[in-house]
């Protein structure tokens, strides 16, 4: 499975106009494209006001067949131009592969998503560490999660090409709080986290919390 993400940083004075433009663009996209977008507002972990949209596709063929016609859809192009007026730069686009899933991955993204990861210094060992952490997280919290690796991205973005991450699917902020509280003093989690330096460049680590809007 492919997960496509576009991170959008509004200008400091964009205010709600930028969010409204993003909602209009995503709503129109979903009315025309067979691969739907989910639109998120970042709660924490990126500059205030940051937005992101994401799409799922089974493979490149499915993705391109659905997305390419939208590039020449006049209304879509117009809405993207309008949205661009409120962004500080072009969206940071990434395509990641799902490496592993623990629990039952939701058929659609949930209301709250947390994503944690970084650039590996040892791909094989980092993948094994990520999968072990994914399984343990699911055992302790019961929350479904997926391990992903970014294959294509922007070298200057928050999520660097090649980065690995765990995406945790949560139905509410209350579920997120409960899971966080469980891990603060969990010996198994803390022991695993102490090994992260062995497999990842910690300066590249990111920890992002997002709320779904569409």
pLDDT in tens, 103-135: 999 988 899 999 999 999 999 999 999 999 999
Instruction: Tell me the CATH number of domain 95-212, given options 3.30.70.100, 3.30.1390.20, 3.30.750.24, 3.40.50.10260.
Output: 3.30.70.100
**Listed residue (73, 82, 110, 75) closest to 17, CA to CA:** 82
Q: What is the mean pLDDT of residues 74-78?
A: 97
Tell whether the torsion through CA atoms of 193, 197, 200 and 202 is positive or negative.
Answer: positive
* CATH architecture of the domain with range 2-92: 2-Layer Sandwich (3.30)
The whole-angstrom separation of Cα 95 and Cα 100 is 16
pLDDT of 168 higher than 90:
yes
Query: Tens digit of pLDDT for each residue in 32-53?
Result: 999 999 999 999 999 989 999 9
* pLDDT confidence of residue 66: 96
From 187, 182, 156, select the one nearest 168 (Cα to Cα).
Answer: 182
Whether residue 148 has pLDDT greater than 90: yes
CATH 3.30.70.100 domain position(s) in the chain: 2-92, 95-212
Is the pLDDT reported for residue 69 higher than 90?
yes
Residues 173-189: pLDDT tens digits?
A: 999 999 999 888 899 99
Q: Is the pLDDT of residue 15 over 90?
A: no
* Confidence check: pLDDT of 154 > 90: no
**Confidence check: pLDDT of 192 > 90:** yes
């Amino acid at each position: 499975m492919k997960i496509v993400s576009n991170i959008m940083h509004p200008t400091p004075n964009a205010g709600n106009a930028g969010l409204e433009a993003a909602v209009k663009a995503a709503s129109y996209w979903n009315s025309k494209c067979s691969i739907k977008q989910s639109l998120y507002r970042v709660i924490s972990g990126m500059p205030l006001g940051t937005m992101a949209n994401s799409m799922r596709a089974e493979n490149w063929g499915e993705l391109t067949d659905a997305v390419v016609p939208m590039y020449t859809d006049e209304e879509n192009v117009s809405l993207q131009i309008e949205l661009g007026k409120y962004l500080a730069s072009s969206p940071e686009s990434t395509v990641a592969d799902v490496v592993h899933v623990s629990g039952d991955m939701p058929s659609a993204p949930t209301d709250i998503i947390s994503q944690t990861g970084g650039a590996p210094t040892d791909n094989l060992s980092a993948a094994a560490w990520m999968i072990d952490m994914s399984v343990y997280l699911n055992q302790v919290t019961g929350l479904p999660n997926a391990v992903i690796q970014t294959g294509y991205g922007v070298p200057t973005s928050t999520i660097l090409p090649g980065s690995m991450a765990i995406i945790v699917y949560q139905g509410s902020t209350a579920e997120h709080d409960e899971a966080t509280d469980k891990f603060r003093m969990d010996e198994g989690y803390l022991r695993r986290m102490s090994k992260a330096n062995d497999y990842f460049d910690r300066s590249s680590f990111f920890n992002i919390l997002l709320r779904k809007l569409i």
